[in-house]
A and B are shown apart, each in its own frame.
With several copies, the nearest count.
Chain A
């Protein structure tokens, strides 16, 4: 699946988008896998309360299933308007 990062999450991880092959069942499982990779991921995901997630471009929460998902995006709380 595609994993996307926006705003300071993108800056901390150092890239906007990457392909990830995973057996993770939920967003939280995927986050655990990513954190185990490298410090920059561990740092970016250290405080989940400061993050939001969208699965297939719909806002959801970290308990959500990602089975069959094509795209998971992580970003800080939005500041539109």
Chain B
């Protein structure tokens, strides 16, 4: 299990390759990657992500540990950035390795649902006009937790 919180970009392809390689007993690897969207109209200049340094790593570890108790997993990877990112930059990734695909998929979705609403990150949009906007949490993201 590896949990990384960093400001710098990460190499998604290399991380995915390393995570998926050399596994003899895990038949299923799932990755999720979150990307900064400009909403298709080019009005987003950047996304700024604030976090709670003392708590973030612990919160992510607790979420990952809970996933490992709920599903049969061989490994879990979480990388989450903070700071300023432009459209098309990768914000974060999770990866799960499991003997079977159902566990790998469900655990990845669980990690994402909890990361969205229970890890101490806050997103602020910077528009090309200079306006800023704290992204509001969505009811549907909170509701997504109820399925677990």
Query: A residues within 8 Å of B by Cβ?
Result: 4, 6-8, 10, 54, 57-59, 71, 73, 75-81
Query: B residues within 8 Å of A by Cβ?
Result: 34, 50, 52, 54-55, 58-59, 80, 91-92, 101, 112, 115-124, 134-137, 142
CB-contact partner of B55 in A10, A54, A76, under 8 A: A54
Q: Nearest CB to that of B27 among chain A residues?
A: A81
CB-contact partner of B52 in A6, A8, A77, under 8 A: A6
Complex alpha-carbon distance, A7 and B54, angstroms? 15
Which of A6, A54, A78 gathers most chain B CB within 10 Å? A78
> Given A6-B52, A7-B122, A78-B137, do A57 and B58 touch, yes or no (CB 8 Å)?
yes
**Are A78 and B58 touching (Cβ within 8 A)?**
no
**Are A76 and B101 touching (Cβ within 8 A)?**
no
Q: Nearest CB to that of A8 among chain B residues?
A: B134
Which of A7, A71, A76, A81 gathers most chain B CB within 10 Å? A81
Complex alpha-carbon distance, A17 and B117, angstroms? 23
Chain B proximity of A32: nearest CB distance (Å): 23
> Given A7-B134, A8-B134, do A78 and B54 touch, yes or no (CB 8 Å)?
no
A76: which B residues are within 8 A, CB to CB?
122, 134, 136-137
A73: which B residues are within 8 A, CB to CB?
52, 55, 120
**Are B34 and A7 touching (Cβ within 8 A)?**
no
Q: Nearest CB to that of A73 among chain B residues?
A: B52
Complex alpha-carbon distance, A4 and B50, angstroms? 13
Complex alpha-carbon distance, A80 and B91, angstroms? 9
**Are B134 and A78 touching (Cβ within 8 A)?**
no
Complex alpha-carbon distance, A8 and B137, angstroms? 13
Given contact pairs A7-B122, A81-B34, A81-B112, a sample of 17 additional A-B residue pairs in the complex whose CB atoms are under 8 Å apart = A6-B52, A7-B50, A7-B124, A7-B134, A54-B52, A57-B54, A57-B59, A75-B120, A77-B136, A77-B142, A78-B117, A79-B121, A79-B122, A79-B123, A80-B117, A80-B118, A81-B115
